[in-house]
Chain A
Amino acid sequence: QQQVKQSPQSLIVQKGGISIINCAYENTAFDYFPWYQQFPGKGPALLIAIRPDVSEKKEGRFTISFNKSAKQFSLHIMDSQPGDSATYFCAATHFGNEKLTFGTGTRLTIIP
C-alpha cells in the first residue's frame, strides 16, 4: 500500500524554467512533509519541508505548495539550473510515528 504517490517519474525542463513535482498522500494523520534531493551515489539531502498549518513555504528558488483538502503538495523550482538535475523525493510523516514514508522519486534533468 503506497501512501505517498509522486509524479511525474521523470521530468525535463529547460534552464531558467520552472520545475514542478507533485505528491498526493492518503493518511490524514500526516503532519510533516519534507522534500529530499538526491544526486547519484549520494544520500538524500533535506531540501525544504512544510507543515499543514501553512499553504506555502518558500526558501530561495524552492517553494512547497500545500493543499490540505486535496491531500496534495508540490515542489516548485524556479529558474531551474543544470545543478538542480537530481532525483527528488517527497515524503511524509506524523507526530508519534517518526518513520518517513517516501514517494517513488522524480528524476529531474535541466537542459541548457
Chain B
Amino acid sequence: NAGVMQNPRHLVRRRGQEARLRCSPMKGHSHVYWYRQLPEEGLKFMVYLQKENIIDESGMPKERFSAEFPKEGPSILRIQQVVRGDSAAYFCASSPPGTGLSHEQYFGPGTRLTVT
C-alpha cells in the first residue's frame, strides 16, 4: 500500500511566479490536510479537504493561497505570486473516512519550496 505521495519534492520559484504542489492520498483515504513547516519550527495547519469540498481553511492565508481536491486526481495547493516568506516545507497528510479514524493522519515526504 503506497503511502502519501507528493510532488515535486523540491520546487524553486522566482518571486511573483506561481507554485503548484500536488498530493495523492493513501489508497482508501478521502481526507487530505495541508501543513506548512518553516525551518526549525513545528507544522502549522493550513487546510482540510474532502473530495470536492473544503472543510476547514482557517489556516490558509487570505490571499494568494488556494487548495482543491477534485473528484479525480490529486489535491493541489496553489500559491500565486510567491514571495520569499513562502519558502518552507509543505506537507500533505491523509486519513481514512469514518468518525475517529480521521485523527490518524499520515504524512507525505513534503515539497520544499524555495523562492528566490
Contact = CB atoms under 8 A, between A and B. Distances in A.
Interface of A: 6, 32, 34, 36, 41-46, 49, 89, 93, 95, 97-105
A9 B55 CA distance: 33
B42 A102 contact: yes
B9 to A, nearest CB: 9
A36 B109 CA distance: 13
Interface in B74-116: 91, 93, 95, 99-100, 102-110
A8 B55 CA distance: 34
A101 B45 contact: yes
Tell me whether chain A's interface is mostly helix, strand or loop, or mixed.
strand
Contacts of A97: 56
A49 B6 CA distance: 24
Interface of B: 4, 6, 31, 33, 35, 40-45, 48, 55-56, 58-59, 91, 93, 95, 99-100, 102-110
Contacts of A49: 103-104
Contacts of B33: 98-100
A45 B108 CA distance: 9
A99 B42 contact: no
Contact of A100 (B99, B105, B108): B105
17 contacts: A34-B103, A34-B105, A42-B110, A43-B107, A44-B43, A46-B105, A46-B107, A49-B103, A49-B104, A98-B31, A99-B56, A100-B43, A100-B93, A100-B105, A102-B35, A102-B42, A104-B41
Contact of A105 (B41, B44, B55, B91): B41
A43 B91 contact: yes
A87 to B, nearest CB: 9
Contact of B108 (A6, A43, A105): A43
Given A89-B42, A98-B103, A99-B33, 20 more contacts: A32-B103, A34-B103, A34-B104, A34-B105, A36-B107, A43-B4, A43-B110, A44-B107, A46-B104, A46-B105, A95-B100, A98-B31, A98-B56, A99-B59, A100-B35, A100-B93, A102-B43, A102-B44, A104-B41, A104-B42
